[in-house]
């Protein structure tokens, strides 16, 4: 059934093509820009023409490890324009500018009641697809958004907010969730290891919670970018030991909390050593299974707490939207590279092999109406 036949009284603003370009995952480290069918929508669903989709580290790990079956179309930090709506859709009309969450929990299972939303079976289902097994679909020209995401996970973008800024709502939500897990108290000192885009966002949010923030990175260029966001207490890890410097700044105790915002498991021990007895360490980027050495006596005898935080929280959806749309942080300034969909392979390769001056990398299938 053609998309036009699925629509009732609401029609698209412009003709929707039958095919589109997409960056298709075909296997381990194998991404190909291909022509694929535009996904068809059903009752309660919408079709979005993608403007901006950020590249997330979790997508890169899936591509690099082959942890998911092929073919798939990844990409979940998506903003764009509603191109068409299905039967019974009343919240949106063609032309609305929106961003979408790709995961939304059921709200009533054991894990939802425990506020551990990322473990909900409905949450684990992906509700956005550009074809094949639903996997986000943002690395394509059009994305089909399924009914439960339309109802609870699609957010209208204010006229004064750019598509680029709006594409950060989902990653900001995950960062706010991580900071909330740490229960930061005003006046505490927090060390953030890694100053890529996620590390900078986590640092800003820790500062927002009242912490004195110390940043650390191997690349001076990244610390310079972080300083432009007001994060001026930095450690150049290529020249100084973050553990010793953290202790120097805290009368020898160590920081109250440390955030590990890079996926290097070897730095777990560094983060644990940097916090004081009774302090906390948050693992934010450890999304691959494996083993990592750390001192168990630091947990037992020194009473240090090792925490994890993964994905977004629906309870923080409104707060994350307010933060982004209200421009509490000029998030689009984190974007260092913008690639058209035709160069998606190059974009993903750069994101997988970041350079000192590369930060957030986005794919932009459509430049129409860019704001």
Q: Which of 149, 126, 150, 129 is nearest to 140 (CA)?
A: 129
Distances (CA, A) of 340 to 87, 289, 370: 32, 32, 13
Give 21-41 pLDDT, tens digit per residue.
Answer: 999 999 999 999 999 999 999
Banded pLDDT at 12 (limits 50, 70, 90)? very low
Domain definitions of the chain by residue range: 3-161+327-363, 173-308
Is the peptide bond between 108 and the residue preceding it cis, with omega within 30 degrees of 0? no
Q: What is the pLDDT of residue 10?
A: 41
Q: Which of 203, 222, 226 has its CA nearest to residue 355?
A: 222
Cβ neighbour number for residue 48 with a 10 Å cutoff: 30
Under 8 Å between Cβ of 71 and 88: no
Query: Can you give the pLDDT at residue 9?
Result: 32
pLDDT at residue 5 is higher than 60 = no
Q: Which two tokens stand for residue 35?
A: 């022509």
Nearest to 284 by CA among 165, 168, 182, 185: 182
- Cα–Cα distance for residue pair 327/330, rounded to 1 Å: 6
pTM: 0.93
- Nearest Cα to 221, choosing from 359, 66, 324? 359
Calculate the average pLDDT of the chain: 94
Q: Are 305 and 299 in contact (CB under 8 A)?
A: yes
- Per-residue pLDDT, 2: 36
Q: How far apart are the C-alpha atoms of 222 and 253, rounded to whole Å?
A: 27
Which residue in this structure is represented by tokens 């790990």? 61
In three-state secondary structure terms, 96 is coil
In this structure, are residues 210 and 69 in contact, taking their beta carbons and an 8 Å threshold? no
Which of 109, 138, 133 lies closest to 121 in space, CA to CA?
Answer: 109
Fold classification of 173-308 (topology level): Rossmann fold (3.40.50)
76-102 pLDDT tens trace: 999 999 999 999 999 999 999 999 999
For the residues of 189-255, what is the DSSP string, one character each? EEEEE--SHHHHHHHHHHHHTT-EEEEEES-HHHHHHHHTTT---EEETTTS-HHHHHHHTTTTS-E
Residue 4, pLDDT > 50, answer: no
Homologous superfamily of 3-161+327-363: Medium-chain alcohol dehydrogenases, catalytic domain (3.90.180.10)
Q: What is the pLDDT of residues 178-209, one digit of tens each?
A: 999 999 999 999 999 999 999 999 999 999 99
- Contact by Cβ (8 Å): 321, 343: no
Nearest Cα neighbor of 188 from 280, 79, 109, 85 is 280
Q: Any residues with CB less than 8 A from the CB of 289 and at least 6 apart, and which?
A: none
Phi/psi at 221 (5° precision) = -60, -35
């Amino acid at each position: 059934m053609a998309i036009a036949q699925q629509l009732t009284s609401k029609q698209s603003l412009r003709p929707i093509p039958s095919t589109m370009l997409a960056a298709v995952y075909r296997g381990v480290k194998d991404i190909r820009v291909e022509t694929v069918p535009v996904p068809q929508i059903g009752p309660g669903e919408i079709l979005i023409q993608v403007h901006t989709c950020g590249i997330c580290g979790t997508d890169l790990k899936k591509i690099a490890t082959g942890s998911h079956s092929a073919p798939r179309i990844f990409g979940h930090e998506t903003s764009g324009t509603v191109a068409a709506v299905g039967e019974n859709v009343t919240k949106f009309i063609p032309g609305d500018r929106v961003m979408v969450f790709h995961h939304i929990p059921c709200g009533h299972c054991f894990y939802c009641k425990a506020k551990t939303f990322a473990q909900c079976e409905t949450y684990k289902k992906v509700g956005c697809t550009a074809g094949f097994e639903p996997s986000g679909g943002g690395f394509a020209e059009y994305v089909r958004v399924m009914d439960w995401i339309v109802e609870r996970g699609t957010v209208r973008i204010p006229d004064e907010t750019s598509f680029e800024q709006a594409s950060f709502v989902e990653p900001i939500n995950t960062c706010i969730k991580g900071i909330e897990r740490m229960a930061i108290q005003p006046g505490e000192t927090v060390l953030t290891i890694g100053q890529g885009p996620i590390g900078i966002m986590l640092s800003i949010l820790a500062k927002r919670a009242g912490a004195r923030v110390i940043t650390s990175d191997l690349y001076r260029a990244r610390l310079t970018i972080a300083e432009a966001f007001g994060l001026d207490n930095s450690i150049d890890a290529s020249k100084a030991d973050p553990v010793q410097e953290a202790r120097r700044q805290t009368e020898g105790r160590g920081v109250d909390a440390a955030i590990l915002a890079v996926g290097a498991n070897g730095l777990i021990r560094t983060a644990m050593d940097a916090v004081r007895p009774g302090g906390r360490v948050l693992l934010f980027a450890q999304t691959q299974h494996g083993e990592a050495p750390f001192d168990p006596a630091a947990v037992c005898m020194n009473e240090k707490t090792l925490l994890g935080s993964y994905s977004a929280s629906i309870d923080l959806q409104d707060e994350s939207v307010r933060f982004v749309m209200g421009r509490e942080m000029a998030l689009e300034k984190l974007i260092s590279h913008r690639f058209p969909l035709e160069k998606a392979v190059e974009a993903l390769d750069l994101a997988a092999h970041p350079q000192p001056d590369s930060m957030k990398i986005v794919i932009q299938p459509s430049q129409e109406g860019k704001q």
